Amino acid sequence: MVVLDWYTKAIVGHYARLRCTAQYWFAALDMAVTDQFPAGARDKGLALMSDNGGQPTSTAFIRACGTLGIQQAFISYNNPKGNADTERVMRTLKEECLWLKEWSCPSKLIKELEDWIVSYNEHYLHSALGYKTPRQFDREYYHNHSPPFEAALQMGCTILTRFRCAPVWGLSRVRAHFDSPFPPESGSQTDHTPCSFWQRQSAHRADTTRCS
């Protein structure tokens, strides 16, 4: 699963697992929100574009987006062009990373995927950005639009989306095929817990129950 910032073309969130569930979709979104909006995404006008699959239309995912203050938008039926920016990045990801080899180890795929995304954000040139990289375009926008006190507070952090009007993210999935069977859920995602949102919600409900 990949979350793309349509404005900067940066991949701001991602998650890789053997299964594709609403929980893991939210893990990718949670990563993006935590990085781009550390103070919270409410009242930022953030919109999330996705297809009409079972994951983004699930009750749990819709409720989670509502809790975060994210407005969901969906492409029309059989119209991938509605999420064209994200789908184009998925094509690049497949052609330049996933399709280059036969994968037999999910943990190795996850590590190479993470490395590729870092390289993409730092080095991939986009004609739509004036042949700048996503991170370069991001930093220039931040330098030109961020108030001095915010720049001082956020030095070294990439949180530019919060300063833009009506930011839009695209969320989509990509499949990688493995050439041999392996135990489910082997490997781990670096520095990100897929159940973070649900764990926090469960802990909150447990605390509420104990206090009542």
Q: How far apart are CA 164 and CA 51, in angstroms?
A: 24
Least reliable range by pLDDT among 39-48, 97-106, 112-121, 195-204: 195-204
User: Which residue would you say has higher pLDDT here, 80 or 5?
Assistant: 5
In a domain, 210, yes or no: no
Predicted local confidence at residue 96, as pLDDT: 95
In a domain, 209, yes or no: no
The pLDDT tens digits of the residues spanning 157-177 come to: 333 333 343 467 777 766 665
Q: Beta-strand (E) ranges in the chain?
A: 2-5, 11-14, 47-50, 71-74, 168-172
**CATH number for the domain harbouring residue 191:** 3.30.420.10
Q: How far apart are CA 140 and CA 198, in angstroms?
A: 36
User: Which residue would you say has higher pLDDT here, 80 or 94?
Assistant: 94
User: Which residue would you say has higher pLDDT here, 109 or 78?
Assistant: 109
In a domain, 196, yes or no: yes
Angle between helices 22-36 and 196-211 (to 10 degrees): 90
- Give residue 29's domain range: 2-178+186-203
In a domain, 191, yes or no: yes
State the total domains in the chain: 1
For residue 114 the two structure tokens come to 């993470």
Predicted local confidence at residue 15, as pLDDT: 92
User: Which residues lie closer than 8 Å to 196 by C-beta, 6 or more apart?
Assistant: 27, 30
Whether pTM > 0.85 for this model: the answer is: no
In a domain, 42, yes or no: yes
Percent of the chain with pLDDT over 70: 71
In a domain, 24, yes or no: yes
pLDDT at 65 over 70: yes
In a domain, 136, yes or no: yes
What are the C-alpha distances in Å from 4 to residues 9, 73, 84, 181? Answer: 6, 14, 11, 31
Q: What is the mean pLDDT of the chain?
A: 77
Partners of residue 171 on adjacent β-strands? 3
In a domain, 212, yes or no: no
